[in-house]
Chain A
Amino acid sequence: MSGLVYKRRVLVCEDDPAMLRIFRFLLQQQGIGNIFTTPKGEAVPGIAVREKPDLILLDLMLPDKDGLTVLKELKSAPTTCDIPVVVVSGKESEQQISQALEAGALDYVIKPFDPAEMGLRIRNFLSSLDAAATGATPPDAAAGGPL
């Protein structure tokens, strides 16, 4: 496990305790030491400014605020616009996926998902951050041939 991955900080905004538990499990499996969680969309920008996470996992259907609005707020604020956001939602229409990606989401994962696959997505994403931080070539890019 890379020491850099361990130092990574991840914020999860999810109101379903069962899903929150699985995110925590997957992140811990990846050796993430700093996991911040909130069930409230309203709280996300403030936590993002304070804790400076490397990644935000954001649900869309939240009890207090629409996740898409939260995403737009994050992307319009200078202090949080560069934080990558992966939307994880049960909303599965093409329109909703497009809206989230247009608003700046890095990726859109539809619930339910395969936990092993989600774990790999998280691992690959954080590995790419580590590669960027150290100037190394990410494993995927190194394995690929010339385009």
Chain B
Amino acid sequence: MSEPVLDMSEIIDLYKEDARGMIARMQDVLKTWSGIVSGSDARKDLRRWSHQLRGSGRTYGFRSVTRISKAIEKIVIALESQRLTADDRVRQSLLRKVSLLESVFKS
């Protein structure tokens, strides 16, 4: 017996709205950058947002959101454990990834 397909359309629009807000906050902390370098709340926030988007992305049907967010989270964890230095190369990489996330929710 086949199960009915879940109609999640009513909550997907809300999700897109939430995700856009979260991505805008990610862009803000990356523009400032000093918080990421010093390991302040900004870095913790960036990790939390990327972790949340990783978990929610594919759950809501946005596989690429999970994939990109996972990459961002990995970079932030590497910064936290000092396996990576918070230099401009890392910043540009994070900005590119967040820009990709933004493009997912543009349409």
User: How many angstroms from the CA of A113 to the CA of B3 in the assembled complex?
Assistant: 17
Least Cβ distance of A22 to chain B in Å? 6
Minimum CB–CB distance for B41 against chain A, Å? 11
Is the CB of A16 closer than 8 A to any CB of chain B? yes
Q: Is the CB of B58 within 8 A of A112?
A: yes
- Map CB proximity to A onto B1-24 as digits: 1 under 8 Å, 0 otherwise: 001011010010011001100000
The number of chain A residues with a CB under 8 A from chain B is 19
Choose from B3, B15, B59 the contact partner of A112 (Cβ within 8 Å). B59
Binds B, one of A47-55, A73-81, A97-105, A114-122: A114-122
A114 to B60 alpha-carbon distance, docked (Å):
8
Interface residues of A in 30-66 (CB under 8 A from B): 61, 63
**How many residues on chain B are close to A (CB under 8 Å)?**
20
User: A136: CB under 8 A from chain B?
Assistant: no
Query: Is the C-beta of B56 less than 8 angstroms from some C-beta in chain A?
Result: yes
Q: Looking at A16, A114, A120, which has the most chain B CB atoms within 10 Å of its CB?
A: A16
Q: A19-B55, A19-B56, A21-B11 are in contact. List 19 more A-B contacts (CB 8 A).
A: A16-B55, A18-B15, A18-B18, A18-B19, A18-B52, A18-B60, A21-B14, A22-B8, A22-B11, A22-B56, A22-B59, A61-B51, A90-B55, A111-B59, A112-B54, A112-B58, A113-B59, A114-B59, A115-B6
Instruction: Report B's interface with A, CB cutoff 8 A.
Output: 3, 5-6, 8, 11, 14-15, 18-19, 48, 51-52, 54-60, 66
